[in-house]
């Protein structure tokens, strides 16, 4: 066999896949581990969603509705927008790919920050574009440097807001000032995967930016059911944008990209405001408690407006990550992201958080970090 893979694809470092929990437990000889590593919803899926999915199981022999009509209509009502302003994806990941597929060809440039969500750069590489990567400044998007990096070749700018992994947030004023300086041919993509956790009055007014504004760039907002809605395993995300852009993205979309169970589960989850509210309230309450406890242990917890935050453990984060694993607590070392002394943790349930704090305390003592 002789494989002639495109050079841009051969040089991609695959997304770190992570092991199934059962494998990890076997490898480390642990049981009942808790995973606070992927910013998932620890309170589980909405019961209404699981009920709807069970009913839909009867219809698995049918293709799903290629237009995801009911889910799109429910989202249009939720966001008070037109159905034509919404496009659904197999996770918001897929909308990132639609954007790159539709707007980026060889030689085009896409601006991203480092660190930020890894998938932007991978899709750009797959489609032959050039990544222009701007380091965060004080853990936030460096909007001034991003502006100065824009060239005639720039097609897209990706801003995860809140940023993953730093959990920082661009204010409305900073964003408006930024937008005023971006050429109108560029598309600004606000990846708002975690925005549900942000206080509503602080959020960027996406409705305003969806409209065409004379001389200003288009703004796209990406959302997901994977975080606040607790449906990461179902793979549903969506983009909110001007219909001129959705109409282009539909051209690169597979006809049945949202499967049957995903459509019914996500539609039902949108109807379960009780579960959504409970998730937001619990996250805020537990995050406050966790941060206080972490600081008591002598570590620094970085401010967060969302369901995860960074902790400076004041020692090698990867060693601490390994020690925590042996205690059945899975967190994320930030070494690969350029913060060798930091871990990122997802806010868990009360029980999980207590277990995390106990494990952290023991590991810090064993490793003599604080």
| Contact set with ligand PLP (CB under 6 A) | 39, 91-93, 117, 160, 164, 191, 193, 224, 226, 232, 237
What does the angle CA 281 – CA 285 – CA 291 come to, to the nearest 5 degrees?
A: 145
**Helices marked H in the chain:** 7-10, 21-28, 47-56, 69-79, 92-103, 119-126, 143-149, 172-179, 206-210, 243-249, 260-270, 273-296, 317-326, 350-366
Q: Of 134 and 357, which has the nearer Cβ to ligand PLP? A: 134
Helices 317-326 and 21-28 meet at what angle, rounded to 10?
A: 90
Q: Of 72 and 92, which has the nearer Cβ to ligand PLP? A: 92
Q: Of 91 and 230, which has the nearer Cβ to ligand PLP? A: 91
Phi, psi of 133 (to 5 degrees): -110, 125
Shortest distance (Å) from residue 232 CB to ligand PLP: 6
What is the rounded CA–CA span in Å between residue 294 and residue 186?
42
Shortest distance (Å) from residue 120 CB to ligand PLP: 9
Q: Of 68 and 92, which has the nearer Cβ to ligand PLP? A: 92
Closest residue to ligand PLP: CB criterion: 91
Q: Which of 282, 260, 9, 291 is nearest to 124 (CA)?
A: 9
Q: Of 258 and 325, which has the nearer Cβ to ligand PLP? A: 258
Measured CA to CA in angstroms, residue 5 lies from 2, 9, 12, 121, 286 at distances of 9, 7, 11, 19, 48
3-state secondary structure of 86: strand
Q: Of 120 and 209, which has the nearer Cβ to ligand PLP? A: 120
Do the Cβ atoms of 130 and 110 come closer than 8 Å?
Answer: yes
Helices 260-270 and 47-56 meet at what angle, rounded to 10?
A: 150
Shortest distance (Å) from residue 89 CB to ligand PLP: 7
Other beta carbons within 10 angstroms of residue 333's beta carbon come to 22
Shortest distance (Å) from residue 242 CB to ligand PLP: 21
Q: Of 40 and 85, which has the nearer Cβ to ligand PLP? A: 40
Shortest distance (Å) from residue 116 CB to ligand PLP: 7
Q: Which two tokens stand for residue 95?
A: 């909308």
Q: Of 39 and 369, which has the nearer Cβ to ligand PLP? A: 39
Shortest distance (Å) from residue 337 CB to ligand PLP: 12
Q: Of 193 and 290, which has the nearer Cβ to ligand PLP? A: 193
What is the rounded CA–CA span in Å between residue 127 and residue 109?
11
Shortest distance (Å) from residue 193 CB to ligand PLP: 4
Question: DSSP string of 184-235?
Answer: TTSEEEEE-TTGGGS-GGGS--HHHHHS--TT--EEEEEEESSSTT--GGG-
Shortest distance (Å) from residue 231 CB to ligand PLP: 9
Shortest distance (Å) from residue 226 CB to ligand PLP: 3
């Amino acid at each position: 066999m002789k494989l002639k893979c495109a050079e841009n694809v051969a040089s991609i470092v695959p997304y770190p896949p992570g092991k199934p929990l059962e494998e990890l437990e076997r490898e480390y000889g642990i049981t009942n581990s808790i995973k606070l590593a992927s910013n998932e919803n620890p309170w589980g899926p909405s019961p209404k969603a699981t009920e709807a999915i069970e009913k839909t199981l009867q219809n698995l022999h049918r293709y799903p509705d290629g237009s995801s009509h009911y889910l799109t209509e429910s989202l249009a009502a939720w966001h008070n927008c037109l159905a034509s302003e919404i496009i659904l994806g197999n996770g918001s990941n897929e909308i990132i790919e639609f954007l790159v597929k539709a707007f980026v060809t060889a030689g085009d440039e896409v601006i991203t920050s480092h660190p930020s969500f890894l998938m932007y750069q991978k899709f750009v590489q797959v489609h032959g574009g050039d990544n222009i990567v701007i380091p965060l400044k004080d853990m936030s998007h460096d909007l001034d440097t991003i502006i100065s990096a824009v060239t005639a070749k720039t097609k897209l700018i990706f801003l995860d807001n809140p940023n993953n992994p730093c959990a920082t947030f661009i204010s409305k004023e900073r964003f408006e000032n930024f937008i005023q300086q971006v050429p109108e041919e560029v598309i600004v993509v606000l990846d708002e995967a975690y925005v549900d956790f942000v206080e509503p009055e602080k959020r960027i007014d996406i409705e305003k930016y969806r409209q065409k504004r004379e001389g200003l760039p288009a703004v796209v907002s990406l959302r997901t059911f994977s975080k606040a809605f607790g449906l990461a395993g179902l793979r549903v995300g969506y983009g909110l944008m001007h219909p001129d852009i959705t109409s282009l993205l539909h051209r690169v979309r597979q006809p049945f990209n949202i499967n049957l169970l995903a459509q019914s589960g996500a539609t039902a989850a949108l109807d379960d405001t009780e579960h959504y509210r409970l998730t937001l309230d619990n996250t805020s309450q537990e995050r406050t408690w966790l941060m206080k406890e972490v600081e008591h242990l002598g570590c620094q917890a970085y401010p967060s407006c969302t369901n995860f935050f960074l902790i400076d453990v004041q020692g090698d984060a990867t060693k601490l990550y390994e020690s925590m694993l042996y205690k059945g607590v899975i967190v994320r070392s930030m070494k690969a992201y350029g913060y060798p002394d930091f871990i990122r943790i997802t806010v868990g349930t009360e029980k999980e958080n207590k277990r995390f704090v106990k494990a952290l305390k023991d590991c810090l003592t064993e490793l003599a970090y604080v």
